[in-house]
Structure 1
Amino acid sequence: MKALLAAALLFASTAPAALAQKEIPKSEGHDQCPLGYVNTLGTTCVSPIYYEVAPTNGKACKEGWMNISAGYCKKKKGPLGIL
């Protein structure tokens, strides 16, 4: 039981590079929010849907990801790879 608990804590403490997020910070140098997010008129953007996003850091999106503007990429999902 202790080993299971330790494994669960270890898994929970390791965060992947991209997470499904409802609220994200605006990327440096961007005043707008990416596609699917609403501007809070502050430093964040919010969405009613959990998207798996990652900052572009000025580079092209990785394979399997699509550019949603404002410095972010979204992981493609679904049979058509768009949802």
Structure 2
Amino acid sequence: MKNWIKRFVKRPQEGPGVHGTGCSGPVEYGVTTSLNRDLIDEVMKMPDIASAALTKLLNDAGLNAGISTGLNFLVTLYKAYQL
């Protein structure tokens, strides 16, 4: 699993391991043009390693999931847990 996770998770100095999530560095408002802030209800931080691990579990279960799918599923599980 260690080698599998290395494919998706970068070292901390390389920025976020999940591309497009913007979890590292300061927030720079107005820089991201592909994000419609009116559609966002909540923002959460999730560990890259947890997203990669869940992605592996999804792939092992036969689903062709990428790292962003693992991240979204992780957040979904966390929100369900909060209920």
Band the TM-score falls in, shorter-chain normalisation: under 0.3
TM-score of the superposition, structure 1-length normalised? Answer: 0.22
Q: Larger % of strand: which?
A: 1
Q: Larger % of helix: which?
A: 2
TM-score of the superposition, structure 2-length normalised? Answer: 0.22
Bigger radius of gyration among the two: 1
